[in-house]
Structure 1
Amino acid sequence: MDKVSLPERPGWRDRAAELGFTFADMGGEPYWDESSAYRFSLREVEEAIEDPSTELHGLVREAVATALASDEWMTRMAIPPEHWDFVADSWKAGEPELYGRMDLAYDGQCPAKLLEYNADTPTSLYESASFQWLWLEEQQRLGVLSPDTDQFNAIHEALATRWAEIAAPGTDVHFAADKTNPEDYATVEALAWAAREADLGAHFTDLAGIGLTEEGQFADDEDRVIGTLFKLYPWEDMLRDDFARHLAASGTRFIEPPWKAVVSNKALLPLLWRLFPGHPNLLPAFFEADVAEALRGGKPAPATARAFAAAEDTLRAGYVSKPIFSREGAGVIITEAGRETERAPDDTYDDHPRIIQGLARLPDFGGFYPVIGSWIVGQTCVGMGLREDASRITHNMSRFKPHYIEG
């Protein structure tokens, strides 16, 4: 893994605007940044990113089964009790998943570490699946990159295949997002593009335009009943929405399915560590309340106490505190050697329960810290995208960086 300075493509911003990539610059700063790119070898992509991500997803599915069978874990994940059956029934029925993005810390030397799993409403999809592939092809054509270079990117093709696996040809799918958010719109458009290639109908609908019919069905702003809905709206909010009591009886098929409320929840991280302590791709993780109890000399659950004792030295050296629900680094606090060293300015989610997680030290490339987003489609890792930030906490103004494989 290395960061390589490269010339930018002439007129790439015009090309981005032409393709609808309207958020390539945000707030006067570049979001898409091709002044440099990250270079990987094929071996490290396959052995350090692809295979571990697929394995981690398998572990996640085991954790889901554990959580859904436990009132304790459902409570700790702050899933409203009135919807426990709704969430669990979707798992028991085998409702299929579509996609997700694991955020990994990787320095090219040590095993990649799972920071969190955005498995319900992950964005940065368009730039990962489409625009960075276009970058590779055009840089090869310009002679900036060798024609022998490649990219770990089968995301779009995998999505089209997955749609064909989980929905019958001709199925109409509504894609819902906030129409005022260009990044969210680009995400659902990328998914709809893949769905159309799978011979499905794809209709965009603004989240605010969805309502309830007299028969208790969800409908769009043109009064079309929604049979299948992909929603870029997280389950932790949906389950607390005014319409939540109608979810189970609506007859709508939701993508992602309700059981993803467990996967997109950062309380999953302590559960993974409880089930698979010492796994090379996991960081020690605990509920903050349990750690506080242990440090006071109290009596947390025996399994928690044992796991905490085994990881105490790691946590003493450095750890991260984060709310179980949050977006774009909000609420994250880094503590090292007992002293707070960095805090995200956004405290929007600070009223939620918190976990702590061992600190993964991101590599420093010229004052920027990259995080790898490994994309899971179905149950397999099929590509990646990188974001880097001048902060060790990756914020919503981080930069997306293309990557390529050489050697």
Structure 2
Amino acid sequence: MRRVPTGERPDWRETATANGFVFHTHDGAPYWDESHAYAFTLDEIERDIEEPSAELHALCLEFAGRAVGDETVLASLRIPETAWNAVRESWRRRDPSLYGRLDLAYGGAGAGPAKLLEYNADTPTALYETAVFQWLWLEQGLASGRLPAGADQFNALHERLIARLRELPLDGLLAFTAYAEAPEDRGTVAYLQDCALQAGRSAHFLDLSEIGLRVVDGRLCLRDESPIDTLFKLYPWEWAFGDAFGSAVGRTPTRFLEPPWKALLSNKGLLAHLWAMAPGHPNLLPAYFEEDPAKARLGTSFVRKPLYSREGANVLIVRDGAVLARDEGPYGGEGYIRQGLAELPVFDGRHALVGSWMIGDAPAGLCMREGPGPITTDAALFVPHYIEPA
């Protein structure tokens, strides 16, 4: 694993706009950065990232199967009791999932196994730029000679997404929703909607504020009361459960992508339960709920994370008893976990985070984000990657 200068395409911004990647810059600050890239060996991808990702995802599914039958687990995750039935029934129906992203601390061969930091199992973004724009970067980099001949990329997301959307048992109206005025969210959902169309599905977009609830049958619906049979929502379950329609989730015939059972995996409490299930697993870090006296086993170096948190908000990193980093935010009222400290690798002064994508139950691609500090926030840059030729 190396950080390699590659130089920018002189017209990459125009190329991005022409291909619908309109959120490559946030509030005047860069988000996409192709002045360099991360290079991996094929063995690093297959042995150190792909195989552990599949194993970790399977362990998460095993946990979900246990959790739905254990009220103490549901309570520990601070899932409201009014939502327990929705979570249980969606699992027992085997409501299918579409995608997710495992965030890993990994520094390359020789640096030790990849460690799971969290599972973005419900509403992960960075999807379009991973699946499409970094692949376009690879193709153009090969054509121009900026990348070595024979270079490849761990990236089957686009094809896998279309195939997954084609095979899902979706009947009737499929709708996609997000905050239309949030460029990254809108771009992510627009991309998934396009994948659905390529899969032969009829797909509609509506803003979150436009979703209605039909009195006649309890289905979610469009403005004209056309019933929504399946809804993809880029909106976290922990927010949805608390909304006005939250109590309707367990009763509505509308099905969801991601399904309610994914709330079990997008919760940082998952990390403590995984460690209890598989203590010593090479790809897990020891983790405990904040109220668990066993957290003392972590000593004076640990990371404290809210059960519900996004983009590093309210994360605290302590090393040898001193605060290494903290990020402020609106989370924490629901409780915290403590996780063993696995610092992100630093390349040329930048902290690099590996995102390993799951489509259905299979690993399908990789993205890299990097930032100036040890907490990956919404200011982190997206950097492309490639697999070095043999």
Would the TM-score normalized by the shorter structure come out above 0.5? yes
CA contact (8 A) 2:177 2:208 kept: yes
Aligned 8 A contact 1:284 1:357 in 2: yes
Q: Distance in 2 between matches of 1:147 and 1:348?
A: 47
2:159 counterpart SS class = helix
- Residue of structure 2 in register with 1:15 after alignment: 15
Determine if contact 2:6/2:147 at 8 Å carries over to the other structure: no
The within-5 A match list for 1:8-407 is 8-108=8-108, 109-168=111-170, 171-215=172-216, 216-290=218-292, 294=293, 305=294, 312=297, 315-344=298-327, 346-406=328-388, 407=390
Equivalent-residue separation in structure 2 for 1:221 and 1:179 (angstroms): 15
Tell me by how many angstroms 1:222 deviates: 3.9
Partners of 1:49 and 1:112 within 8 A in 2:
yes
Equivalents in 2 of 1:392, 1:20: separation in Å?
Answer: 31
1:317 CA drift (Å)? 4.8
- Check conservation: 2:85, 2:250, Cα contact below 8 A: no
Tell me the equivalent position of 1:299.
none
Higher mean C-alpha deviation, range 187-196 or range 225-234: 187-196
SS at match of 2:153: coil
Letter in 2 for 1:332: V
What is the CA distance between 1:47 and its match in structure 2?
A: 0.3
Q: Spell out structure 1 runs of 4+ moving beyond 3 A.
A: none
Q: Structure 2, unaligned stretches of length 5 or more?
A: none
Q: Figure out how many residues of one structure are paired with residues of the other and give that number.
A: 386
Letter in 1 for 2:166: A
The Cα offsets for residues 184-233 of structure 1, whole Å up to 9 and x where unpaired, read as 11111221122112211111110111112231321123432211100001
Contact 1:100 1:119 in 2 (8 A): yes
Instruction: Give the secondary structure class of the aligned counterpart of 1:188.
Output: helix
Give the RMSD, CA atoms, in angstroms: 1.3
Distance (whole Å) between structure 2 residues aligned to residue 329 and residue 391 of structure 1? 11
Q: Which amino acid aligns with 2:200?
A: D
Structure 2 letter corresponding to 1:405: I
Aligned mates of 1:388, 1:158 — CA distance in 2: 26
Name the amino acid aligned to 1:343: R
Alpha-carbon distance in structure 1 between the residues aligned to 2:173 and 2:160: 20
Task: Determine the C-alpha separation between the residues in 1 that align with 2:185 and 2:78.
Answer: 25
Normalising to structure 1: TM-score of the pair?
A: 0.92
Distance 1:2 1:146 in 2: 14
Q: Which residue of 2 aligns with 1:302?
A: none
Cα distance in 2 for partners of 1:83, 1:327 equals 21
Give me the whole-angstrom Cα distance separating, in 1, the residues matched to 2:341 and 2:127: 26
Kept after mapping to 2: 8 A contact 1:316/1:336? no
The one-letter code matched in structure 2 to 1:256 is E
Gapped regions of structure 1 (runs ≥ 5): 295-304
2:320 aligned partner, one-letter code: A
Alpha-carbon distance in 1 for matches of 2:93, 2:332: 34
Note the C-alpha offset of 1:281: 0.3
Contact 1:32 1:399 in 2 (8 A): yes
1:171 shift after superposition: 4.4
Q: Distance in 2 between matches of 1:350 and 1:8?
A: 40
The answer on whether the counterparts of 1:330 and 1:349 sit within 8 Å (CA) in structure 2 is yes
DSSP 3-state at the match of 1:383: strand
Q: Which amino acid aligns with 1:357?
A: Q
Q: CA deviation at 1:248?
A: 2.4
Residue of structure 2 in register with 1:301 after alignment: none
Amino acid at match of 1:191: L
